[in-house]
Amino acid sequence: MQMQQKKPATDCKNTKKYYVGPVATEFVATKTGIWRIERPDVVIENCIFCGTCRKHCPTDVITMEKEGENRGVHFDWDYCKGCGICANVCPKKCINMIQEGSACNL
């Protein structure tokens, strides 16, 4: 947890002042994957490897491999919190949010 700023921050035009409260800057003890009640499941046949899901994931847990035996879109299940943003932004609508525990690759 960071200390609250001693001086107020200002906006770009210097017209407003506000304090920034304490913020968590490191997740050292919490694996956000335990929050998950749904998980993303990719229909890889429809994926065009555009990277939109990876770009928008708030926890940066998505990796992609376009070729090879690990070809696919991969998630770090320790930290994917199941927010569904990746599914919402996918232009091919090839990410389905499925109930946690129902993925065949668990």
Residues that bind ligand SF4 (CB under 6 A): 40, 42, 47-53, 57, 59, 61-62, 73, 75, 80-86, 90, 92, 94-95
CB nearer ligand SF4, residue 19 or residue 35:
35
CA distances from 20 to 4, 9, 10, 26, 31 (A): 6, 7, 10, 17, 25
5 or 99: CB nearest ligand SF4: 99
> How far apart are CB 45 and ligand SF4 at their closest, in Å?
11
Give ∠ CA 4-59-27 in degrees, rounded to 5.
45
Shortest distance, CB of residue 73 to ligand SF4, whole angstroms?
A: 5
Q: Which residues contact 36 (CB under 8 A, 6 or more apart)?
A: 80, 81, 82, 100
Q: Rounded to an integer, what distance in angstroms lies between the CA atom of residue 54 and that of residue 77?
A: 14
**Residue 37 C-beta: closest distance to ligand SF4, Å:** 11
Q: How far is the CB of 78 from ligand SF4 (least distance, A)?
A: 11
User: What is the CB neighbour count within 10 angstroms for residue 42?
Assistant: 21
Q: Which is nearer to ligand SF4, 59 or 69 (CB)?
A: 59
Q: Which is nearer to ligand SF4, 21 or 68 (CB)?
A: 68
